[in-house]
Amino acid sequence: MRALNIVIPFSLPPVEHARDLLAQLQAPAMAKLLCRASLKSKTTASGLDACLPHERWLAGHTSDNSPAMSTALMAALGLKNESGYWFVVQPVHLHVARDHLVLTDYRQLNLSESEAKTLFDAAHPLFEEQNQQLLFGSKDYWFMQADAWADFRTCTPDAACGHNIDVWSPSGGSARAWRRLQNEVQMLWHQHPLNEAREQNNHPRINGLWLWGGSQANQSSTGLLNLRTLASHLTNTHQTFDISPSEPTTYILDSLSSAALADDWSSWLHNLSALDQEYLAPALAALDSGQLAVVNVILSDSTRLVQWSIARNSFRKFWAKPSLTRLAA
């Protein structure tokens, strides 16, 4: 069956702003899709989970841990890991609040590939001293082998973003060892010339590392829904948008996350309108013409996920009036 899954993180407006935002939102294709859609599922999380609702849906797991992403991410970046237990390691900026540290959005770092490699090369010997292998994948994604830390409970950077890291940092039998290693890296980077230059250019300092996504080398992705799709998306290697795939295909449209995490609702409105024109309108046209049999739209925020399904025969509902009110449900 020619089916399309479209996942749009942070597309559900916050309850307190929903009425005002929907009054301004220009998204005619989404309005037409939602008015004809059937509700397939609706879930609400606590807000303290190790991953966001859309990450949990994509990974297809129910454990209170971050998705086992390291193997899939390494493969997407062309790295081989034939043995061992690996974690994703991301360079981040930790904002210093009055009495704690807050993880910020890594998308806003303006970190170049050369800057990331410079920081990686500086930190690498510290990992070697602890007998932890560290590999460079890209400016955003490094990888560490830590076989003894397989019991860690970790959280995705998006789930922890904007929060006190004490609550979200890795926990487990060796958590103290990780904190010690991270502290050594932080001290090394604190006076690094690169960070001095970044500060002068009004870019955030890279002053921490975020550990998550642990998995065994060559772990099979069987049963983990769309895990490779998520890895391809995170590493910017996703395939071109195809409105008439030969088999069920999932696309992640993630241009709303940064705006929502920053409470920048003007940008959120602009970006959602752009998504509507660039992706939802062609999907709607393909559904109407018969190129697609089904479009599943998965909408979420930091605690909620709603899945809508629109089949071609939904267009028989000629009486359905296009509306965005279901976004506030």
Q: What is the pLDDT of residues 256-289, one digit of tens each?
A: 999 999 999 999 999 999 999 999 999 999 998 8
Report phi then psi at 250, rounded to 5.
-115, 135
**Token pair of 208 as six digits:** 């921490």
pLDDT of 87: 96
Report phi then psi at 164, rounded to 5.
-65, 120
**CA angle, residues 44, 50, 52, in degrees to nearest 5:** 45
**CA angle, residues 231, 41, 310, in degrees to nearest 5:** 85
Q: Is the pLDDT of residue 226 over 90?
A: no
pLDDT of 246: 75
* Residues present in the chain in total: 329
Which helix (H) or strand (E) segment holds residue 40: the answer is: strand 38-44
**Pick the residue with more confidence: 223 or 256?**
256
Q: What does the pLDDT average to over 130-154?
A: 94
Q: What does the pLDDT average to over 36-61?
A: 88
Q: Is the pLDDT of residue 314 over 70?
A: yes
Please name the residue ranges forming H helices in 145-240: 157-160, 165-168, 175-190, 193-200, 227-234
Which helix (H) or strand (E) segment holds residue 29: the answer is: helix 28-36
Tokens 């599922």 -> residue: 41
Q: Is the pLDDT of residue 34 over 70?
A: yes
Q: Is the pLDDT of residue 16 over 90?
A: yes
User: For residue 15, what are the CA distances in angstroms to 19, 80, 230, 301, 328?
Assistant: 8, 44, 27, 11, 7
pLDDT band at 148 (very low <50, low <70, confident <90, very high): very high
* Cα gap 122→110, rounded to integer Å: 19
Which helix (H) or strand (E) segment holds residue 122: the answer is: helix 113-129
Please give the share of the chain, as a percent, with pLDDT higher than 70.
95
Q: Is the pLDDT of residue 225 over 60?
A: no
* Cα gap 191→247, rounded to integer Å: 52
Which domains are delineated in the chain?
Answer: 3-60+225-328 (no CATH), 70-216 (3.30.70)
pLDDT band at 318 (very low <50, low <70, confident <90, very high): low
* Cα gap 122→78, rounded to integer Å: 23
Cβ distance 213 to 67 under 8 Å?
Answer: yes
